[in-house]
Chains A and B, each alone.
Chain A
Amino acid sequence: MSVLVVQGLSKSFGGVQAVGDVSFAVAPGEMLALIGPNGAGKTTCFNMVGGQLRPDAGSVMLDGKPITGLGPRAIARHGVGRTFQITATFGSMTVRENVQMALLSHRQQIWQFWRPVAGRYVDEADALLARVGLEAQANRATGVLAYGDLKRLELAIALGNEPRLLLMDEPTAGMAPAERVGLMKLTRRLATERGVAVLFTEHDMDVVFDVSDRILVLNRGVLIAEGNGAAIRANPAVREIYLGTGATSGGH
């Protein structure tokens, strides 16, 4: 059964249709890439699934339960983890504390005023940090991390919530090419191990074809192709609007 089922999703901004009647599904352990030229409606789609935007029409189901139109916090509580295009972490905390916060929140232990945070779920936090290769930095200030490390920290925080679905908006934006593949291979492994469904947008076509199981191509808010890497590469419509001459390319 699919983790995420999106049906007939639509959104207009002041009469301009940004997304029109988009439907797709993501299975556990599957990595689904959402690509398209700039302005194709990727981010709009993404924000409707993540709760930042309320869709005009259509439905979003997570594990069979409707989450359409819920806010980002409620959606997080339903088991959706997120990483952001511009990293969002807790700058006044150490790397480990960032993950501890996610663990405490997931276990509903936020409303406690007495027992200190220090020492709580340290082993779990360190295990998650080790999983993304940050164990040596656990005690450092988040603010001094390199950008690639921040991205990996975001991944660890998202995993702290034990998500069923991971939403990654431009996960490799701003990273060096060598790091990009590393991060996405890591995500690939984590998705397979934990059976987490991953939906991500990405501009780097090498990354997309390298790690995704399936690819959705959006253009002008409409889904124009769907399939694995080989099928998408061969699709004439995609070649024309996206990979074509480069005149309309939003990629690299």
Chain B
Amino acid sequence: MDSIIPQLLTGLAGASSLFLVASGLTIIFGVTRIVNFSHGSLMMLGAYIGWSILTRLPRDPEWFVLGIIATVLATALIGVLLEMVVLRRVYRAPELFQLLATFGVVLILQDVTLWIWGPVELPLPRSRWLRGFVEIAGNRFPFYDLILIFVGPVVLGLLWLVMNRTRWGTLVRAATLDREMVAALGVDQRLLFTSVFALGAGLAGLGGVLSLPNSSANLHIDLSVITDAFVVVVVGGLGSLPGAFVASLLIGILQAFGIVLVPKITLVLVFLVMAVVLVFRPNGLMGRPQAEAREATVAAPVVRAAPRELRILGGIALLLAVAAPFFVGDYYLTVLTDACVAIVFAASLHFMMGPGGMASFGHAAWFGIGAYGAGLLAQWLGAPMPIGLLAAPISAGIVAALFGWFVVRLSGVYLSMLTLAFAQIVWAISFQWVEVTGGDNGLLGLWPPEWARDPSVYYWMALILSVAVALLLRRALYAPYGYALRAARDSVTRAQSIGLDVARLRMVALIIAGAACGLSGALFAYAKGGVFPTYISIPHSVEALLMVLLGGLQTMTGPIIGALVYTGLADILMRSTDLWRLVLGTVIVLLVVAFPEGIAGAARRLWLRGREA
């Protein structure tokens, strides 16, 4: 009984911080329909800017408040800048490209922050009043946490007033319900979007600076916060402020008690709650079904077999790839092997995302399951590599079937977010179940057998497998099954009215994509000699997205080109500059602005110029 009240209060304080970030994210999504990956980065900037301001001010409470206000204004300004320079140019691009652009911003801001403030964590020296305690029910409770508990509801109240009592708030609510209608009524969308972004960024900044006294400004804030914020926003219902509040209370309290009761599976617990909520309420606790976007009816270009010229080009590339071990050194052979893995990784994601219409933010989950499947078999049963390579796609496929049972009914962003959540669960298991997975140290000593240990031989094997998988996937896409999958993506109503089972088609796509991706994971594991939790990290999932979107969704060659370009680009960048994130992020943003249909898509458009699709 003793520990309940303090835990509850800790949970409430955590819920407040969550709400500050999630409310900004949900408002921005509601109006602009952009899933802003860089929202966590804005919070991180808030923490750093807050640190810089607060350490220069006197330590009295009134200066503390003043510093917070200055920080909020500064982050809001950065938000405005971000909206005007980057996002404004991609509103017309497909949803996923917007996401990609915001991830480019994440990378840029990471390096900018590192460059300005350095790699060391920056704790805020706490003055006396910040360290105080209050006695509640016989327990000493930090005074600052009590302040935090009040901030959440106060901000919710203020937002409610703004949303319901001002003309601007009415416009925001109207745009959340039906953006096109608001535009048709002659509302200046640019101003609305920019101001909404400023508000959202300001809230993120507030969350960042308020987190300082309890933790520190560090470079990990961005990705850890964005995951939590996604969970809260999805559980609450996209675009719903009260939903975000209720969900942050739920998640905050769950986390506070989880740490005490079941410390090992807290992360899993949070994501399980999210999964359960979405299964019973597919639009979140307080969300409503999204108004169908009218622009989306613009038809996707017709998928046709590649022209002869491209086949010849592909043939030449394949010949060069086969001959590569004779004229490149060991280092490049490793890069080429990575490229083979990347091709399967990207092609499998493309399968479910392009023709299947199911975007995945957590594709690395299948990669990791395949790798751990092979690794665990080798570790516990001493299974040889061929068995491992066979077990990887099977295990990933089975898990994909179980997962698919939950998610095929969900649509659009919710499905994508659940894939992210699922990947985080898998990551948490690999990271926290040390006895089985080795935790952070991973599974080591996973080397190919004698006959495949030569880098050339392993490369050839990887090449054969990746080309075979890519061709098989392509074959399936041109067969009735692949057409039916695409039909279900193009028009669910029409697909059903000719008797197609949309849910089953999607489920099978998920299993195929998961299995193929699992194989790439095992290939990678044997090439590197081990399996590590980083295989399942968010950045790795985003890599898959990057490859597919770089190449473009509408062509079958897209993911292959994307995988090659990305692998090459990443390799060159990482060796030539310390600021590779900055460069990569900038390249991504520029690419999205310049080629919203991907590299292969743009090439296709140029090729088709003057001819009909």
Contact = CB atoms under 8 A, between A and B. Distances in A.
Nearest to B355: A92
B484 A105 contact: yes
A73 B299 contact: no
A72 B613 contact: no
B136 to A, nearest CB: 47
Interface in A90-113: 90-94, 97, 100-102, 104-106, 109-113
A94 B483 CA distance: 11
Nearest to A142: B299
Interface stretch (B60-68, B242-250, B271-279, B495-503): B495-503
Contacts of B500: 73, 105, 110
A91 B490 contact: yes
A76 B304 CA distance: 28
Interface stretch (B215-223, B405-413, B472-480, B587-595): B472-480
B498 A93 contact: no
B612 interface: yes
Contact of A140 (B483, B497, B612): B612
A184 to B, nearest CB: 20
Interface in B576-613: 612-613
Interface in A128-168: 140-144, 157-158, 160-161
B479 A101 contact: no
A104 B487 CA distance: 12
Contacts of B484: 101, 104-105, 110
B138 interface: no
Nearest to A145: B299
B494 interface: yes
Interface residues of A, number: 43
Interface stretch (A80-88, A174-182, A190-198, A232-240): A80-88
A13 interface: no
Contact of B613 (A71, A100, A143): A143
Interface in A110-130: 110-118, 120
Interface string B486-520: 11011101111111111001000000000000000
Contact of B497 (A72, A113, A142): A72
A65 to B, nearest CB: 16
Most buried by A among B486, B487, B500, B501: B487
Interface string A205-242: 00000000000000000000000000000000000000
Given A73-B500, A140-B612, A89 B494 contact: yes
A142 B613 CA distance: 10
Nearest to A83: B497
Most buried by A among B302, B304, B486: B302
Most buried by A among B303, B475, B493, B499: B499
B185 interface: no
Given A111-B480, A112-B479, A141 B487 contact: no
Given A110-B481, A112-B479, A141-B613, A76 B299 contact: no
A63 B594 CA distance: 57
A105 B491 contact: no
A73 B501 contact: yes
7 contacts: A89-B491, A97-B483, A106-B498, A116-B479, A117-B479, A118-B305, A161-B499
Interface of B: 298-305, 475-476, 478-484, 486-487, 489-491, 493-502, 505, 554, 612-613
In the complex, the 6 A-B pairs of residues with the closest C-beta atoms, listed nearest first: A143-B299, A91-B299, A88-B494, A141-B302, A92-B300, A90-B490
